[in-house]
Amino acid sequence: MPASFGEMWAELLPVGRHAGSGGYRRYAWTGADAECRDWFREQAAARGLAYEVDRNGNQWAWLGDPAAGDAVVTGSHLDSVPDGGAFDGPLGVVSAFAALDGLRARGARPTRPVAVVNFGDEEGARFGVACVGSRLATGRLTPEQAAGLRDADGVSLPQAMERAGYDPAAIGPDDERLARVGVFVELHVEQGRHLGDTASPVGVASAIWPHGRWRFDFRGEANHAGTTRMEHRRDPMPAYAATVLAAREHAASAGALATFGKLSVAPNGVNAVPSLVRAWLDARAADEPTLGRVVGAIERSAREHAAREGGEVELVRESFTPVVDFAPALRDELVRLLAARQPYEVPVLPTGAGHDAGILAAKVPAAMLFVRNPTGVSHSPAEHAREDDCVAGVEALTDVLAGLACR
C-alpha cells in the first residue's frame, strides 16, 4: 500500500526545516535536498514506477513505457527559498503521487504513459538563477552559463552537483526526454489570494506575468556622519529611499508590482554617510509594454533623485523572463474536465510567480492548477493551504490525469 497524501506530507514535513524560523532551507544539492530526493525515489519504488534521473538531475517516476511518447506528466519541485513554506513545490509533487493513486483507485486505465517529475533547483536560492533543472533541459540556460554559477561560499554549480553524486559533465539540453512529454500539468499552492476571496479551492492558470530583476547602484561620497553638514553631503541613501517610494507609486498606478527587497550599503557604518547603495528591483506586470513603462518610470525617478543629492545611479538588468501564455486549448480542457466533476466554479487566473511549467511551456503544452491559499502568503513559513483544499487539489489533478491519459 503506497503512502497516503497525509503520510507523504508528514514524511516530508521535518526535512530541511529550520528549528529557529520554522521555515524550510532545502537548497539545491545540499543534504536536505538529498533527503527530499531519496523520498521521491522511495515513493516511486513503493508504487512500482520506473525511476530515472535525467542528465540535469531532475527526477522522474513513470507509469507505463517512458519511450512510448505523448506522456501526461505532472509534478513540481522539492527545493525551497530561504525560510520558505511547506507547500511551495512539495504540494505539487505529493499531490502528483496521490493523484496517481487516485487514478488506480478509480480503476482508470491510462492509454498514455503518466509520469511524476521533481525538477531540481527551481527556486534558485543557492545559485541565484531560478528553474535551473527545467531551463537546462529546454536550453534556456546553457551548460557554460550553469558552470559559471556560484553560491555564497564560492562553490560552483558543477562542483555542488558532483559533491551530491551527480555527473555535471552531462548537463545540457534534453530534447530526447522532452520529446516524450505530451503535456505537463503542475499543481501549485497559489501565491496570492485570488482564490482566497472565492468559494473555489482550485483554479487554472492563464498566464505568468513577465518579470525581471534590475540592480540599481546609487553612488555618492562616503563621509563622517558627525562632521559633514547636511548641505555638503552627496548621500545616495535619500535618493534610494525616494526611489522606493516612487516605485510603489508607479507600480500601483499601472496595476503592476515593484519590490526593492535586497540592499547592500558601503561602507555600511552607522556613523558614515554611504558611498554606495546597491539595491535590487523585482518588477512584474501583466504584459511587457506595461512592465517596460513601469521600470522606465522608476529609472527616471532614480536619476532625478540621485542628481538632486549630487550623486548618480547606474542600472543593470540582471534577468528577464518574458510573458508565458499557457496553451489555451489545454487550459480550456482542464477547466472543462474539472467543471464536469467538481461542484465549484473553476476560476482562470494569472500569476506573477515563475514556475517550471512556464519554462516548459516553450517546448511542450503546459498548464497549471492552483490550490487556494487563504492568506496568499508564500515564500514564508506562514504559507498555508487548508487540508480539505489540498484534498480538493488531489481530486482535481486526478480528474485531469484521468481525462488526459485515459481515453
Residue ranges that bind Zn ion, judged by CB under 5 A = 88-89
Count of beta carbons in the 10 Å neighbourhood of residue 289: 10
The least CB distance from residue 259 to Zn ion, in Å, is 17
Quickly tell me which residue has 556560484 as its cell: 150
Work out how close the CB of 34 gets to Zn ion at its nearest, in angstroms, rounded to a whole number: 19
Q: In terms of CB distance, is 88 or 395 closer to Zn ion?
A: 88
84 versus 403: smaller Cβ distance to Zn ion: 84
Work out how close the CB of 159 gets to Zn ion at its nearest, in angstroms, rounded to a whole number.
Answer: 25
Closer CB to Zn ion, 142 or 259, in the complex: 259
Q: How far apart (Å, rounded) are the C-alpha atoms in residues 168 and 160?
A: 9
Residue number, 187 or 313, with CB nearest to Zn ion: 187
Identify which of residues 187 and 256 has a Cβ nearer to Zn ion in the complex.
Answer: 187
Asked if residue 284 belongs to a known ligand binding site, the reply is: yes
Shortest spacing between CB 316 and Zn ion, in angstroms: 26
CA distance 44 to 198: 35
**Closest CB to Zn ion among residues 88, 174:** 88
77 is in an annotated binding site: yes
CA–CA dist 388, 372 (Å, integer): 10
Q: Is 355 annotated as a binding residue?
A: no
151 is in an annotated binding site: no
Minimum CB separation of residue 355 from Zn ion in Å reads 6
The answer on whether 190 is annotated among ligand-binding residues is no
Sequence-distant (≥ 6) Cβ neighbours of residue 230 within 8 angstroms: none
The reply, when asked if residue 379 is annotated as ligand binding, is yes
Q: Has 384 been labeled as part of a binding site?
A: no
CB of 274 to Zn ion, least distance (A): 35
Binding site residues, as ranges? 77, 88, 123, 188, 213, 271, 284, 379
Binding site residues for Zn(2+), as ranges? 77, 88, 123, 188, 379
Binding site residues for allantoate, as ranges? 213, 271, 284
